[in-house]
Structure 1
Amino acid sequence: MTPTKRPRRPSAGGYARGDETRQRIIDAGVRLFGEHGFAGASTRDIAAAAGVNAPALQYYFENKEGLYHACAEYITNDLRDRFAPAMREANAVLKADGAMDALIDAYLGILGVMLDSVLSQPHASKKRLFVARELGDEEAHVASKLLDRRLKRPLNKAMLSLLSRITGLGVNDPVTRIRSLTLKGQIMPFYHPPGACLDALGWKEIDAAKGALLKSSVLGQTRTLLDSWRVDLATNRAR
């Protein structure tokens, strides 16, 4: 990809119609870049999917690279906004040296948002496919770099800090890192709902009720693990 120019925007911050058109183009870009990759998705096809003419892409994004970057920004900002309340709560609990129950609730709060983003977020599969291509070294890593810097690093830092407080082990202790990976790994079987997890569950789809059941089950077993590690910490301190 070549360096992107600054995208053009409608005057005075953008009219409502202009904002809606721009978002339609981004939505179409996320879907087609995810399905076909940067090289395989043509601006003509993206414009057609968005219901606009080809010059509209140039008006809003200058070029194909500019649109791709806008799609990456959109995905990153959307996810960051979804995690913002849980992250604020986690950071507040950590700063206040909160009680054990508050630490566990804060950890489960972040994990719950992760589950929501996989199980119930509208069009989540399209966004995941876009990012998956980057993680698979198929694209220029624009989205994955943004996600890593703006979301994954602060998210991992908060979750490791919470887990460290709950278990009494250091943030860099290998056991803390292993536990963190395995707790987050509970979500992976549901990351691509059309796949093997549906066959294993005997389901045709994950609707709202099934998504709620999966979420409550994963959070319930996570709470059980965190409670057991809290007991281990209390026992070790009593010795």
Structure 2
Amino acid sequence: MAQTEPASRGAYAKSAETRRTILDAAIVAFGEHGLEGASTRAIAAAAGVNQPALNYHFGSKDGLYVECARAIVERFAAGTAPASAAAIALLADGAPIEPVEALARLHQLMDALVETLVLNEEAAIWAGFVAREMNAPGAAFAILYENLWQPGTELAARLISAARGEHRPGEDSRLEALMLISNLIAFTNGRRVSKAIMGWSDIGSEQVAAVRRSIARQIDALVAAKTGE
């Protein structure tokens, strides 16, 4: 038994690693070619596995496509989890919320989004897949909308409203949350263009700090404009 358990854990770890490798290759392929244009044979080759291994883990190309969407949601959530959890806890308390605390949580949430979407180059790889589902909704649209786009925007909108001393988000807060988050797409889909415009050869901690400052100024300005501060 002492020998079997470590062997089992090793096999599980190898299986999980193979699954992730396939997903990494598939996200790129689907982002570049779409569901119909991507070849499972090419995905398997890019992942360094054979076709039966791909079928074993995902069943079919459609199954693999859907799992790519779930993987993107999970990876995005991993980068924003602490900030999202703190914001949700504040809003779920039921007690009156101090605007200054809501504002702090909003800054924290947007900082986490900057780290995830701007500093993390993997987000630029997700961008092709996500953009296709935005422009031509398919099998993955509901997964991305229900687990990523809608709850993320709503959370930011609720924090904006709370920072203004409002009880619930309205059209203005949702639109402003949407615009704040959309700013960061310049560093996913438009990463190459944004780097060229800014004269940045790469995006590191210094560039991320500049983006963070810009977003922070936008947050403070939109909250102040509404409260008259």
TM tier, smaller: 0.7 to 0.9
Give the match for residue 224 of structure 2.
228
Q: How many residues matched?
A: 219
Query: 1:170, 1:176 within 8 Å by CA — same for their partners in 2?
Result: no
Instruction: Map residues 106-185 of structure 1 onto 2, 5 A cutoff.
Output: 106-137=105-136, 140-142=138-140, 144-169=141-166, 171=168, 173-185=170-182
* Residues 1:102 and 2:101 aligned together: yes
Once residues 65 and 10 of structure 2 are traced to their aligned partners in structure 1, the CA distance between those partners, rounded to angstroms, is 21
Change (3 A) 1:170 1:65: same
Percent sequence identity over aligned pairs? 32
Once residues 85 and 78 of structure 1 are traced to their aligned partners in structure 2, the CA distance between those partners, rounded to angstroms, is 13
Change (3 A) 1:161 1:227: closer
Deviation at 1:167, TM superposition (A): 1.9
Instruction: Map residues 21-100 of structure 1 onto 2, 5 A cutoff.
Output: 21-94=18-91, 95=93, 96-100=95-99
Larger displacement relative to structure 2 (168-177 or 146-155)? 168-177
Which consecutive residues of structure 1, in runs of 5 or more, have no partner in the other structure?
A: 1-10
Once residues 121 and 203 of structure 2 are traced to their aligned partners in structure 1, the CA distance between those partners, rounded to angstroms, is 12
Once residues 41 and 89 of structure 1 are traced to their aligned partners in structure 2, the CA distance between those partners, rounded to angstroms, is 39
Query: 2:158, 2:169 within 8 Å by CA — same for their partners in 1?
Result: no
Write the deviation string for residues 128-153 of structure 1: whole angstroms up to 9, x where unpaired.
1111111111x6241x3112112322
Deviation at 1:164, TM superposition (A): 1.4
Does the residue aligned with 1:186 lie in a helix, a strand or coil?
A: helix
Give the match for residue 194 of structure 1.
192
Once residues 173 and 58 of structure 1 are traced to their aligned partners in structure 2, the CA distance between those partners, rounded to angstroms, is 46
Change (3 A) 1:97 1:91: farther
Write the deviation string for residues 105-127 of structure 1: whole angstroms up to 9, x where unpaired.
11111211221222112421111
Give the match for residue 5 of structure 1.
none
**Structure 2 letter corresponding to 1:103:** A
Change (3 A) 1:229 1:167: farther
Query: 2:80, 2:116 within 8 Å by CA — same for their partners in 1?
Result: no
Give the TM-score taking structure 2 as reference length.
0.84
Once residues 54 and 104 of structure 1 are traced to their aligned partners in structure 2, the CA distance between those partners, rounded to angstroms, is 50
Give the TM-score taking structure 1 as reference length.
0.80
Once residues 19 and 178 of structure 2 are traced to their aligned partners in structure 1, the CA distance between those partners, rounded to angstroms, is 37
Once residues 56 and 203 of structure 1 are traced to their aligned partners in structure 2, the CA distance between those partners, rounded to angstroms, is 41
Change (3 A) 1:107 1:172: closer
Which structure has greater helix proportion? 2
**Structure 1 letter corresponding to 2:220:** T
Once residues 140 and 174 of structure 1 are traced to their aligned partners in structure 2, the CA distance between those partners, rounded to angstroms, is 27
Query: 1:119, 1:190 within 8 Å by CA — same for their partners in 2?
Result: yes
Which consecutive residues of structure 2, in runs of 5 or more, have no partner in the other structure?
A: 1-7
**Structure 1 letter corresponding to 2:211:** L
Runs of 4 or more consecutive aligned structure 1 residues displaced over 4 Å after TM superposition:
11-14
Query: 1:194, 1:205 within 8 Å by CA — same for their partners in 2?
Result: no
